[in-house]
């Protein structure tokens, strides 16, 4: 049984859930709009340039989880999913997932975006296995810190290796779909790397190495 792994943001989704969650908080007046918008844009630019300090970003992005009770956060998240995320789930992305499901592959999403945001998105795709950055909780409340290793760049490889060992799985005949050069460490591990609407740097690598390039959303 092959493993079919999907990046989430700008791959299965026609947008970036992490960035858009920040925009949603600004638009709702939940966070300081001027400061949060400026920092959100700064971190997003760093990510695209391959220069993101993941721990600095997570201190910023997880702070609102610490500042509000879980029930309130869940209400906001439901509104975010319905109003922002649902329109970004395209028919072409659903068909790609279903192709692998029908082939009997084990489906997984692996994403640097935190699990508070991404677990219900994975559920909407019907994908059980999710490796995401885990926000730390204490007594049922978010602390604003990270539990374990963030699933970013090489962290995706490390977290996946832990999952493979725990589930007695291998990467034989595995697939990984991603849009970003930040995912090169994992793309290089699988048998079938696929660039999806790739950024400029990943387009260059995929072209040089003759990896398939899939236009899923454009």
Q: What is the pLDDT along the chain (218 residues), one digit of tens a residue?
A: 799 999 999 999 999 999 999 999 999 999 998 998 899 889 989 988 989 999 999 999 999 999 999 999 999 999 999 999 999 999 999 999 999 999 999 999 999 999 999 999 999 999 999 999 999 999 999 999 999 999 999 999 999 999 999 999 999 999 999 999 999 999 999 999 999 999 999 999 999 999 999 999 97
Name the active-site residue from 7, 18, 179, 183. Answer: 7
pLDDT value of position 40: 87
Cβ atoms of 203 and 185 within 8 Å: the answer is: no
Task: Provide the Cα torsion 146, 152, 155, 161; round to 10°.
Answer: 110
- Quote the CA–CA distance of 106 and 88 in Å, as a whole number: 23
- Total count of domains within the chain: 1
- Quote the CA–CA distance of 75 and 144 in Å, as a whole number: 19
pLDDT value of position 48: 87
Tell me the residue range of the domain where 22 lies: 3-214
Name the active-site residue from 9, 105, 183, 197. Answer: 9
pLDDT value of position 11: 98
Is 9 annotated as catalytic? yes
- Quote the CA–CA distance of 199 and 196 in Å, as a whole number: 9
Provide the CATH number for the domain around residue 166: 3.40.50.1000
Nearest partner of 112 among 60, 177, 47, 166, judged by Cα: 47
pLDDT value of position 103: 97
pLDDT value of position 126: 98
Is 82 annotated as catalytic? no
pLDDT value of position 33: 86
pLDDT value of position 1: 76
pLDDT value of position 144: 95
Question: What is the per-residue burial (b if ≥16 Cβ within 10 Å, else e) of 52-88?
Answer: bebeebbebbbebbeeeeeeebeebbeebbeebbeeb
pLDDT value of position 56: 94
- Quote the CA–CA distance of 56 and 167 in Å, as a whole number: 32
pLDDT value of position 19: 92
């Amino acid at each position: 049984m092959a493993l079919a792994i999907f990046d989430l943001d700008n791959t299965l989704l026609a947008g970036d859930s992490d960035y858009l969650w920040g925009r949603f908080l600004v638009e709702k007046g939940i966070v300081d709009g001027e400061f949060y918008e400026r920092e959100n844009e700064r971190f997003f630019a760093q990510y695209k340039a391959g220069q993101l300090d993941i721990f600095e970003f997570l201190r910023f992005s997880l702070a609102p989880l610490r500042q509000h009770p879980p029930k309130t956060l869940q209400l906001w998240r439901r509104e975010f999913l319905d109003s922002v995320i649902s329109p970004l789930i395209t028919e072409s992305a659903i068909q790609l997932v279903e192709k692998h499901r029908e082939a009997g592959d084990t489906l997984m999403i692996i994403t640097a975006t935190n699990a508070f945001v991404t677990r219900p998105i994975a559920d909407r795709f019907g994908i059980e296995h999710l490796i995401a950055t885990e926000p730390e909780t204490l007594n049922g409340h978010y602390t604003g810190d990270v539990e374990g290793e963030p699933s970013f760049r090489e962290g995706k490889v490390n977290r996946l290796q832990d999952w493979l060992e725990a589930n007695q799985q291998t990467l034989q005949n595995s697939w990984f779909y991603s849009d970003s050069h930040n995912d090169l460490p994992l793309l290089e591990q699988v048998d079938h790397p696929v660039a999806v609407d790739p950024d400029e740097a990943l387009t260059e690598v995929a072209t040089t190495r003759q990896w398939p390039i899939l236009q899923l959303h454009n």
